[in-house]
Structure 1
Amino acid sequence: MQDRTTNRMLYSLKVTGAQTAAALAERLDITAVAVRQMLGRLHEAGLVEYEDSRESVGRPKRFWHLTEAGNAQFPDNHAGLTRDLIASISAVFGESGLDQLISHREQATLNQYQLALEPIETLEAKVEQLAAIRSAEGYMATSTRNAEGKLVLVENHCPICVAAKACQKLCRSELEVFQAALGPDVEVTRFEHILKGARRCAYTIAARPKQSDQLAMKL
């Protein structure tokens, strides 16, 4: 139903989160009038919603964001079939059988990530490569540093979201895979989680303090 520019707008809202019409116009390099017209059509279609926020003196700003239907425009890797398969495995083989399946997937994914990350020397480069791998898998992932200088891995989309809602062990598994792939000297912490209502999943990644450093801090 959408043309290329409208799809770019949906993608921008997906990756960047809530934005004003003016910000979208600047990002997409089109007029604010055209943006408002497209937002109006998308709003009528139930793909976007808005909230008015008064940030300072003056008129409130209108921030547009994707609705659940808008998020559904992005692929979810045969979500219905996956959800039904999870239910069937649990029914036929029980929770232990499902745990074995998740463990098998976890190990296969870990092997793939370790093979890709092993030749890379710095932690920052490893996180960049991990983001590239996850993007290729459909997670729209990026790597950056926050205001404190910590490495951050952000996943703007979850292509297995429906399956993960049906089996939250899949999300636990992914966090454990990141930790294992980056090694015991690295700590991975998830601070935003789509399944808990966040727009995205986001992780801080930092080197663990060495024992000598910890002793020095205590002295």
Structure 2
Amino acid sequence: MMLKMHGALSAAAIGQLLGTTGEAARQQLARLADEGLVAAVTEARGVGRPTQSWSLTPAAQSRFPDTHAALTVQLLDIIRQSLGEEALDAIIGVRETETRLAYQATLEQHAALRDKVAALAELRSAEGYMAEWREEADGSLVLIENHCPICAAATACEGFCRAELEVFRSALGPEVEVVRDEHIVAGGRRCSYAIRRAG
């Protein structure tokens, strides 16, 4: 909290702000550094020993309040109330098109369906879905998303989930069948999709 409020500080300065010793602060900083939450930079300041200045890492930002989900839901409600459901559908449609084109550009580099699904899982994980995939005994494939980073928006507007399923179907091609078996928004622990060759 001190580093968030004051920016980069030395262990001695943190100790002073907390009413403890610089060594006690340094021990806490070392623990936080082991977790990847803080990092030190050594600075030479004239004569004497260089000073270590501690600051937060990008990973530490998740430890602080973040209301972007609430803001997203509020914006969706404003669009719906001010511009109508058609405007909201148009915005979701633009997002769907952009996502589909990006996925297709990656997936078309693979010939085998299992390679396409593996690449799709990689794309989704990079977007925060904690995705994985597996092959079933019958040869069908399963794409699993263990997290939904847009859950608040998807709960407020089901169009996001509909668009997601359509993107998967388009990106994997017309000869592939994609069925959602589990759905976080509907109360599932995760979202999962059965994927197989059509027919």
Scaled to the shorter chain, the TM-score interval is 0.5 to 0.7
Looking at structure 2, the residues matched to 103 and 110 of structure 1 have their Cα atoms a distance apart, in angstroms, of: 10
Shift of 1:118: 0.8
Map of 1:137 onto structure 2: 127
Q: CA deviation at 1:190?
A: 0.4
- 1:35 corresponding residue in structure 2: none
Unaligned runs of 5+ in 2: 1-30, 36-62
The alpha carbon displacement at 1:145 in A equals: 1.5
Q: TM-score, normalised by structure 1?
A: 0.60
* TM-score computed with the length of structure 2 as normaliser: 0.66
Number of equivalenced pairs: 139
Residue 78 of structure 1, CA deviation:
2.4
Are 1:95 and 2:121 counterparts?
A: no
Three-state SS of the structure 2 residue aligned to 1:187 is: strand
| 2:103 matches 1:113 | yes
Report sequence identity in percent. Answer: 52
Superposed, which structure 2 residues align to 1:63-212 within 5 Å? 78-209=68-199
Q: 1:164, 1:119 → 2: CA distance? A: 30
SS of match in other structure, 2:120: helix
- How far did 1:198 drift? 0.8
Q: CA deviation at 1:77?
A: 8.9
Per-residue displacement from partner, 1:103-128 (whole Å, max 9, x unpaired)?
Answer: 00000000100011111110000000
Shift in alpha-carbon separation, 1:161–1:110, aligned structure 2, 3 A = same
Instruction: Measure how far apart 1:91 and its partner are.
Output: 1.4
Greater than 4 Å deviation, 4+ residue runs: none
- Counterpart amino acid of 1:142? E
The DSSP-based 3-state class of the residue aligned with 2:84 is helix
Question: 1:178 is aligned with what amino acid?
Answer: F
Larger Rg: 2
Deviations 1:188-210 (A, max 9, x none): 0000011111100000100112x
SS at match of 1:175: helix
- 1:179 offset after TM fit, Å? 0.3
CA distance in structure 2 between the partners assigned to 1:115 and 1:147 by the alignment:
29
How far off is 1:81 after superposition? 1.3
CA distance in 1, matches of 2:194, 2:132: 12
Q: Which runs of 5+ in 1 are unaligned?
A: 8-72, 210-219
**Structure 1 CA distance, aligned partners of 2:93 and 2:85?**
12
